[in-house]
Each structure stands twice: as C-alpha cells, then as structure tokens.
A and B are shown apart, each in its own frame.
Chain A
C-alpha cells in the first residue's frame, strides 16, 4: 500500500502514457476514418491528463478545449463531408515497404528510448520551473501568458503570419480555378 502511495504519480503517468500510445496506434490501425479520429481523441485526452499531472492545469484545459474539442470536430466534419469510405486494402507496393517500415520503426523506437533514458535526469519534475517565471511565483495561467506574450512574443507573432499563409493556401488550393484570369 505504501509502495502504491509513493509511486502514485508514476503509476498515473504510465497509465496515461499507455492510453496515449494506444490511441496513436489506433489512428493508423483502424480501417474506418471515424474510428481513427475517435482513437486520436483518446490520445488528446490522455495528453491532457499528463499536463494535469505536471501541474500545468491551463495547458490541460487548452488541450481539451482546442484539440479534443475544436480540432476533433473539424476532423469529423471533414470526414463526414468527403464521405470517406473504409480505406481499401493496401496495394502491392505498400506491402513491399513493410520490412523497411519495421526497420525504421525499430530505429525510431531506439532513438526515443535513448532520449527518454537520457533526459529523465535533467527535466524539472514538477511545475516549479513554470511557477518561477521572472523571479516571482506565479499561477499557472499567468506564467503561460507571461512566457507567451513577453519572452516569446516574436515567435508568437510570426506564427500568426504562418496561420494567415495557411489560410491563403487553403483558399488558393480549394478555389475553383476560373481559367482565363477572371475574378474568383
């Protein structure tokens, strides 16, 4: 019982991590796009749980609202709109790539393992780093705001142009090509 209490955080973390990974595997394993999307939802929620565990409640809330809420609804909308049927059997050439995929997957797994093993010592275990932004203990949300709108103001603003370009791109690619140079 004591062991359980001492290691409670780790048990919760590994359970959440397992759910997140299972969800990610489900995304590519399920045949039906809707099932794949719902499986991704499981991953999003598990990641939100990890944020809670790290005492980043604000990020957890954003994760649920933006990803599990907004992004997922968009995914489902798109799937419904394009009426995607079940993905057909993989053609011959995909099968031939299986050995290469297994090899690369193993390599990636090894890299991830090395990364986790090496980084496990160096990362702050709780939200202490976040709470001490600018030398003053702050709440979670304030710390994120401080960091985003003060320290990381420039990349934050550049990202807004990136989003603008993405929007232009979606319109350019989705627009019916009117041919001889007329107005769209």
Chain B
C-alpha cells in the first residue's frame, strides 16, 4: 500500500493543493488574483518536484492499485507536460481574469483538478481508471468553458461542449462495455493477451470502433470535430489555449496507451479507420481554416489539423511513431500556448480584437510581441528553424518508415495549404497599416508577455537543438511497456 501511495503522490498532492486554492479563494473575500495565481503556480511546481521524487522512488515496470496504475516513463513524460501546460495557462489567465474581473479561486482550482484528471489518464493501464480520469478532466473543462458567465458566447460554448462531450462519453462507455463483455477484462495487458489468443468476435470489433469514435471526439478529429470552433471561440481565451493543448495531449496519451497497448492485436482492424480519420482531419481542418476571419476560430481549425498530424504518428505506431507523437505534443504545446497568449494580449474587453484585420500594422506598434507571433505561426506551419518543423519531420519520417507514404503525402500537401492562413496573419502584422479610426493596440499584460517570451524561446531552442528533447521523448517511449 505504501508503494501504491508513493506512485500516486503527485496526483494526491495536486488534488489537495487544488482544494486549498479553492478554500483560499473563498476565504480571501476580495478577489486576490496575485496571491491565488502565485499559489496555483507554486502548487504545480511542487507537484512537479513530487513527480520527480516519486519517479525516482518507483520502479517504472511496477503496477499499483491492483494493477491499474503505473508510473512508467511514458506517464512521467505526459505528467510533466501537463504540469507545464497548466502552469503556463495559470500565468496566461492572471492578467485576463483580472482585466475581465472574474473570481480566480474556483477557476484556478478547476484548472488544477483537470490536470489531476489528465495525470490519472496518463498513468492508467485499466480502462476504468482511464475513463474516470477522462471524466474528471472533461467535467472541469466544461465548467471552465462557461466560466465567463456574463458572456453569452461562453454559455453557448459550455452548453455545446457539455452536451456533445457527454454524448461522446456515452459512445466511449458503450464501446468499453462491449469490449468488457467480449473479453471479460478492463486491464490493458490482459486485454492484449485475450485478443491475441482468440479470434475476436464482432462485439469486440464493434466495441473497438465505438471506442475509436469516442477517442477521435476527444482529440477533435474529423468527423467528430464540429464542436471545436464554437467552443474554442466562446470559451475564455486562456481556457481555449488550455483545451487546445492539455486535454488534447491527454487524449493522445490515452489513445496511444489503449490502441497501441491493449488493442494492438486488432491493429489490422482499426489502423485504416484511424488512418482515414487522420487524412480527413488534416484536409478538412486546413481547408476550413482558410476561410476563417476570426483568429480564435482559425486557431481552432488549426488545432483540428494538428490533431490530424499527430494521428499520423499513431498510425505509424512502433517506438518511432510513439516517440514522434510525444515530441510533437511538446512542440505543439509551447507553440499553441504562445499563439493564444498573443490573442489574449490583443483582446480587449468584450471579445474585440479577434479578427484577422485587427492584426494590421501591429509589427510597427509592438515589434517584440509581433515577432513572437511570427515565430508561433512559422512553427505551426512547420517552417525551419522553429520547433514545429522538427516535430513534423519526425512524425512524417516515422510514418514513411512504417510504410504510410500516402498519409505523409496528404500531410505535406496540407501543411503547404496551412501556410496560407498562418502567413496571412504575419502579412497583416508586418505589411499592412492599421487603418480605421482606432487601430488595435495591445493591452498591458506583463505575465502574458512573459509567457509569450518563454514559449518563443522554447520554440526556437527546440527547433535549433532538438536532440535533448528527442532523446527525452525516446527514453520515455522506449520503456512504455506497451510496445
């Protein structure tokens, strides 16, 4: 039991501190943004240290809690990524919450609870654990999407996200129950053994298909993407940034663990399904992004397209494929948080400053921030020397080596298409003058700017010196225990 608790210590710690932040928010009467924000960041940092200690004291191959929980390198990589994401989002939220005058206590606590859910998902090797982790993450995110209660759009986003999310959870559960009915187990390793030893019946196959549908919804892949633009547009922008990276990375952790782990013996049945979804996602995400004038919607479609690229790595499978997805998630996280940080800077009260035209002439008025946005756009488009280029390179190389050349051709063509809408923003910033009565200006938001700086530096460092990060991803995926 003691070893069990040590392995679970990071989650326990974060959940406890989240409750502390919640209570501190209630007790502090007046909204104490600085105090609570600093508390949340410190809590996340402390959890990171705990994770490091717990990882050192735990055997990566061991199973805990009746074989339901592991703390292997794969889980550690994702947990560190989730903690980083949450910390960046808390910092981004600081200025935004203050400016829009919303209470920080519950908000920060919910971000932390969502992180606990994501960490549980990354460590679960039993479908029941993975599912409850997923629900913890999803429920917290639904509430966060609707947190700005004075905004009608935020209500709409929360309602849509909740109804569609609940439906997708239902589909996922139905798939889980069919698989359980067919194999009699929820444990991923046992599942792989049972499926490998006997020819799976139709109920297992239907279960896998439904499971794939549920997972594709959670990563916002076509044809289960329709909720994304509305939810991303309506939600508070730091939460949009969070949703576009944190829950998405968690869904990919779950996708990798379940499909490449437990369902590997059925790969022949699901690989074409995921492959076609990846191709459709890349095509539709990029084509639809071309026509968007609202930057948040454009970034929503862009994040759909990026889920498609990451699915290519999943289809490729094997250590190289898993590595490349892990590395890509890191790259995508720092890039997308930076890009949304810039949107937050530009957004003044009442959701103004969201259209592409608002970006005109910003390079002259705010050269430093505009340069950051240039980096993020280049990284999302996959242009060297940014991190996005390295991320795509390793993904596509893994897929080519695994023999999925057609998928890589689609991916490369669609990356070229994506340059149009990424560079459109750059063009507006650098080459157009801001005409109209009042040109958009950036609002003062020191912490948001610091996050942009940090993400910008990360994008360049990962792009120029990818070796240590790749080695980290490789060490992590190499010992996944599921390959």
Contacts and interface: CB of A to CB of B under 8 A. Distances in A.
Q: Does B bind A? A: yes
Interface of A: 111, 114-115, 117-119, 122-123, 150-155, 158-159, 161-162, 164-166, 168-169, 171-173, 177, 179-184
B138 to A, nearest CB: 9
B311 interface: no
A172 to B, nearest CB: 5
A91 B8 CA distance: 51
A111 B211 CA distance: 13
A2 B15 CA distance: 60
B116 to A, nearest CB: 7
A133 to B, nearest CB: 12
Contacts of A150: 66
A165 B66 contact: no
B140 interface: yes
Interface stretch (B100-108, B240-248, B345-353): B100-108
Contacts, number: 106
B146 interface: yes
Contacts of B117: 158, 161-162
B129 A161 contact: no
Contact of B68 (A118, A123, A154): A154
A114 B203 contact: yes
Contact of B106 (A172, A179, A180, A183): A172
A62 B399 CA distance: 51
A105 B150 CA distance: 38
Contacts of B110: 165, 168-169
B56 interface: no
A123 B178 CA distance: 11
B254 to A, nearest CB: 14
A119 B174 CA distance: 13
Given A152-B128, A181-B31, A158 B133 contact: yes
B400 interface: no
Contacts of B69: 154
Interface residues of B, number: 49
A151 to B, nearest CB: 5
A111 B206 contact: yes
Given A151-B66, A152-B128, A162 B139 contact: yes
Given A111-B206, A114-B203, A154-B69, A177 B149 contact: yes
A168 B203 contact: no
A115 B149 CA distance: 43
Contacts of B133: 158
A155 B206 contact: no
B22 A168 contact: yes
A177 B100 CA distance: 13
B29 A122 contact: no
Interface of B: 8, 15, 19, 22, 29-31, 65-66, 68-69, 101-103, 106, 109-110, 113, 116-117, 120, 126, 128-129, 131-133, 135-136, 139-140, 142-143, 146-147, 149-150, 158, 178, 181-182, 184, 201-204, 206-207, 210
A158 B101 contact: no
A177 B178 CA distance: 44
Contacts of A153: 65-66
B101 A180 contact: yes
Contacts of B181: 115, 119, 122-123
B103 A173 contact: no
Given A154-B8, A161-B113, A114 B202 contact: yes
A161 B116 contact: yes
A181 to B, nearest CB: 4
B339 to A, nearest CB: 28
Contact of A158 (B109, B129, B158): B129
12 contacts: A114-B202, A115-B203, A115-B206, A119-B178, A122-B184, A123-B181, A152-B66, A154-B8, A161-B136, A168-B143, A179-B150, A182-B30
B76 to A, nearest CB: 18
B103 A181 contact: yes
A173 B161 CA distance: 14
B65 A154 contact: yes
Given A115-B178, A155-B132, A158-B136, A165 B113 contact: yes
Nearest to A174: B149
Given A181-B30, A181-B31, A183-B30, 5 more contacts: A118-B201, A155-B132, A158-B132, A169-B139, A169-B143
A147 to B, nearest CB: 10
Given A151-B66, A165-B113, A181-B102, A172 B132 contact: no
A182 B29 CA distance: 7
Nearest to B28: A183
Nearest to A156: B132
